[in-house]
Amino acid sequence: MKYSGWPEPSELVVGKVDEIEDFGVFVDLEEYEGKRGLCHISEVASGWIKNVRDHVSEGQTVVAKVLEVDESAQQIDLSIKDVNDHQRKEKIQEWKNEQKADNWMELAFGEDIADEEYSDIANALLSEFGSLYDGFEAAAIHGESALEDTGLDESAVESLVETARDNVSVPYVNVTGYVDLTCPDSAGVDVIKEALQAAEGNGEVPEEIQLEVTYVGSPEYRIQVQAPDYKTAEGELEESAARARSVVEAEGGSAQFHRDRDEDDE
């Protein structure tokens, strides 16, 4: 997808070197429709430059910083030297992700999708998530609920979610904790079973979460959570332990949550 507008000053852009002159380099902007920028020789690299071609070549993909935009003069001034290695790698990855998302749009709605319809859907995702890729990633993780505020119709949402779940590699994190459960009541075994079922969420854990409770050794149980990010994972871990504690303490028992295994069980 290429934007129809103009880049903003200080924005990082991806471009392809189109023409090299003694005074600088012309760069076609990959993310903006019909936009071309000029990187003056003084902005190509640090230090004195004898030959621009020693630093860039025609057809090379570069990341540049936008210095100034003059829409009336159709001019965009760029700097290649002001982009460090970390920024360059991060921007290239972001650009590649958007290219993937652009392909996913075609998979979701077909190559013959009308430009206006494509723009409406893309703009809805951009407005809500900041990028097409982030929109697809959210759809893959959270399903239809992630797209509730986009204003897209049900058919479009279903197509986006289905395509996202078929194509997006979702990053997951894993966290582990332990809970000691004891109940002196005569029905203590049943209480513990009920507490473990509660810890596992009684079938109501969000679909993007994987939660498993396993026996370690009396009275200790391991809680393992897989989630899209650490904040969510940690929250689910603590809630799981709290649900088990609530059941056990209601019957006069006790529950203690800890992050590491008891030394006696090593």
pLDDT tens per residue across span 29-77: 999 999 999 999 999 999 889 899 999 999 999 999 999 999 999 999 9
Quick check: is 74 in a domain?
yes
Q: Which residues pair with 27 in a beta bridge?
A: 17, 37
> What is the C-alpha to C-alpha distance for residues 103 and 190, in angstroms, rounded to an integer?
53
Question: 261, 217 in Cβ contact below 8 A?
Answer: no
Residue pLDDT, tens place only, 109-164: 998 888 889 999 999 999 999 999 999 999 988 888 899 999 999 999 999 999 99
- Confidence at residue 160, expressed as pLDDT on a 0 to 100 scale: 96
> What is the C-alpha to C-alpha distance for residues 143 and 162, in angstroms, rounded to an integer?
9
Quick check: is 2 in a domain?
no
Q: Which of 83, 112, 131 is the last residue of a domain?
A: 83
Q: Which of 167, 196, 222 is the last residue of a domain?
A: 167
Counted domains in the chain: 3
